[in-house]
Amino acid sequence: MLHLAGKIRGATIRATDGDIGTLEDFYFEEDRWTVRYFLVDTGKWFSGKRVLISPMSVKSAWTRAEIPVGLTKSQVWNSPQIDWQQPLSRGTETQVLKYYGYPWYWIGGGIWGAFENPAALVAQPMPSTPHPDGPVVDVEKQHLRSTNQSTGYHIHAADGEVGHVDDFLIGEESWRIRYLLVDTSNWIGGKAVVVPTDSVERIDRDRGTLHIASTRDEIKHSRPFHSIEEAVGAAETGPPFVLI
């Protein structure tokens, strides 16, 4: 099953003992195009405190309306305070994951440790030290990005500009961003198309651009986007998921 990020924003985050807020944003890792956290605005519940929650907390299927997490309201309320004026560093991530007792996702050959989904990773034991053996990660090369801030990035094909990022298609179990929804209306024909993230070669944060391997002609002749099922195939989406 795939979900459009824009359709999920505003969904209620439901703890084991009540609601804790609404989903405001997703933070994804550029290198592996995987959502590592969702940002929750606790609003009326916790005086507007904004918190990061890992997909490892999600315990069952999630929808546009609700994301159930295996956490209590008290756990969320007492989670580490984050300085939103600073980049999201590996040190901050370590604090958050250690607080919830979650293993480190960045060690292993899969997109979630040695696995392909967060449910499998969270079933593993917590490392005994806050800085387990493994390659040292440069904060500047970590590339955690906000989907809100990345929406609108201009798409550059191999031979020129083709459109801008309009949305992100996220896998329900893996939390991997499989496709970008691209609006080409001001460039090559006035339609929305999906572009696989596997074709992305680099992101230029300073210029707000995203470079893909496809050509303008390939994008121009791709199928217009009307529904997720039609665009990527029923095998990836489960039951039909039609845009409203």
> For 10-36, what is the mean pLDDT?
94
Sequence-ordered list of residues with C-beta below 8 angstroms from that of 20, at least 6 positions apart, any chain = 13, 14, 40, 42, 45, 46, 69, 71, 73, 76
Mean pLDDT across the chain: 85
**Residues linked to residue 26 through DSSP beta bridges, in sequence order:** 38
Virtual CA dihedral for 163, 165, 166, 168, nearest 10 degrees?
140
State the sign of the Cα–Cα–Cα–Cα dihedral 234, 239, 240, 244: negative
pLDDT at 197 over 80: yes
Cα separation, 42 vs 205, whole angstroms: 28
Distance CA 36, CA 144 (A): 8
Q: Looking at the DSSP assignment, which residues form a beta bridge with residue 127?
A: none
How much is the average pLDDT of 119-123?
93
3 state SS of 12: strand
The Cα diameter of the chain in Å comes to 55
Unique residue bearing structure tokens 């090559």? 188
What pLDDT band is residue 140 in, cutting at 50, 70 and 90? very low
- Please tell me the predicted confidence (pLDDT) of residue 31: 86
Share of the chain above pLDDT 90, in %: 62
Query: DSSP letters of 78-114?
Result: TSPP--TTS---HHHHHHHHHHHTPPPTTSSSSSBTT
DSSP reduced 3-state for 204 = strand
Measured over the CA atoms of residue 85, residue 86, residue 90 and residue 94, the dihedral's sign is negative
Assigned token pair, 3: 């979900």
Confidence class of residue 131 from pLDDT cuts 50, 70 and 90? very low
Distant-in-sequence, close-in-space partners of 211: CB < 8 Å, separation ≥ 6: 156, 200, 201, 202, 203, 204
Three-state DSSP at 146 gives strand
CB 152 within 8 A of CB 141: no
* 38 in Cβ contact with 26 (< 8 Å): yes
- Inform me whether the pLDDT recorded for 55 exceeds 70: yes
Tens digit of each residue's pLDDT (9 = 90 or more) over 81-102: 888 877 788 888 999 999 999 9
| Encoded tokens for 53 | 């929650």
Q: Which domains, from first to last, does the chain contain? A: 7-145 (3.90.50.10), 151-237 (2.30.30.240)
The encoded tokens of residue 227 equal 């529904």
pLDDT value at 242 more than 70: no
